[in-house]
Amino acid sequence: MPLGRTGLEVSRLGLGSSFGAPQSAYERAYERGVNYFYWGSLRKDPMGSAIRNIAKKDRDGLVVCLQSYARFGWMVKRSTESALKSLGLDHAEVLLLGWHNSEPPDRIIDAAMALKEKGRIRHIAISSHKRSLFQDLTSDERYGIWHLRYNAVHRGAEREVFAGLDGVEREARPGVVSYTNTRWGHLCDPKKTPSGERTPTGTDCYRFALAQPAVDIAMCGPDNDEHMSQALHVLEQGPMSADELDWMRRVGDHIYGKDLTSGVRDGAAAPAMR
């Protein structure tokens, strides 16, 4: 499917680099059609080896997202060039400017645009924990992709981000990538599940995120082959039913209410703002 106004053809799942799945699991995922590979801040060699191997065979089918937390323009350039060198690539499809809770200063976006003009990257993405920032960036065509947190516990993006994209043609809006879909694994922890409810699996968490029409990609972080299998099972499942969505919300509401840090994690003053 197209990733918003970037026109990139992507899978509904994305894979993160910070986890422990073996190289073979990443390559198996690619063979199943998962092509969005997120080379984040914690980079483990199994994914790097998989990217290098896949790129030798099918570079055009691979969508590589490099993340930079750099806060100086020269560091954006250096970190991007270093990541490309480590992966043996001459370009990346996406440069993600990580964790900006206000619009990036000119020195950051200018450095990213310079890399784009040189062909070292194709598109610029931004991630933020401040959901209201995205409202100000909807029409800013410099940003082709948004990375944001969304899960059954923290659903504020439904109101503060997704609602603003209603009625906007996919080709005219940014692509949307959701992360922390399992809420740091809490949604899959039986100890945190309310009595009488089934504990969600990773598959359930990714399906919940993808039930939102605005979400193009749900990021997953497989630690092993089994976790990868759970993630890939999403590709075989249809949309969540209304009953399944209600169940996920009940579990999410319970976890939110039991965790005293929920409001802080959410950047909200009260649970009603989740």
Between 239 and 37, name the one with better pLDDT. 37
Separation of alpha carbons 67 and 40, rounded Å: 5
What pLDDT is recorded for position 82? 95
What pLDDT is recorded for position 175? 97
What pLDDT is recorded for position 194? 97
Residue 25 · residue 193 · CB < 8 Å: no
Is this prediction's pTM over 0.85?
Answer: yes
Q: Is the pLDDT of residue 43 over 90?
A: no
Helices (H), 91-240: 106-117, 132-137, 157-160, 202-210, 225-232
Eight-class DSSP state of 60 = G
Residue type, 248: M
Percent of the chain at pLDDT > 70 equals: 96
What pLDDT is recorded for position 196? 97
Percent of the chain at pLDDT > 90 equals: 82
Residue 13 · residue 206 · CB < 8 Å: yes
Banded pLDDT at 1 (limits 50, 70, 90): confident
| Mean pLDDT taken over the chain | 93
Eight-class DSSP state of 185 = T
Q: Is the pLDDT of residue 221 over 70?
A: yes
Mean pLDDT of 133-153: 95
C-alpha closest to that of 200 among 250, 135, 164, 237? 250
Residue 175 · residue 8 · CB < 8 Å: yes
What pLDDT is recorded for position 267? 66
Separation of alpha carbons 147 and 133, rounded Å: 12
Separation of alpha carbons 134 and 251, rounded Å: 27
Q: Is the pLDDT of residue 163 over 70?
A: yes
Q: Is the pLDDT of residue 272 over 60?
A: no
Residue 175 · residue 217 · CB < 8 Å: yes
Q: Is the pLDDT of residue 61 over 90?
A: yes
Mean pLDDT of 25-49: 91
Please tell me the number of Cα atoms within 13 Å of 22 on its side-chain side: 6
Separation of alpha carbons 5 and 165, rounded Å: 13
C-alpha closest to that of 77 among 200, 55, 14, 85? 85
E strand residue ranges, the chain: 13-16, 36-39, 63-68, 92-97, 121-128, 143-149, 175-179, 217-220
Mean pLDDT of 7-32: 93
Q: Is the pLDDT of residue 97 over 90?
A: yes
Q: Which residues contact 206 (CB under 8 A, 6 or more apart)?
A: 13, 181, 218, 220, 231, 234
Between 20 and 178, name the one with better pLDDT. 178
What are the b/e assignments for 197-225, b being 16+ CB within 10 Å?
eeebbbbbbbbbbbbbebbbbbbbbbeee
Mean pLDDT of 139-144: 93
Domain annotation for the chain: domains and CATH numbers: 4-273 (3.20.20.100)
Separation of alpha carbons 36 and 69, rounded Å: 19
Mean pLDDT of 68-88: 95
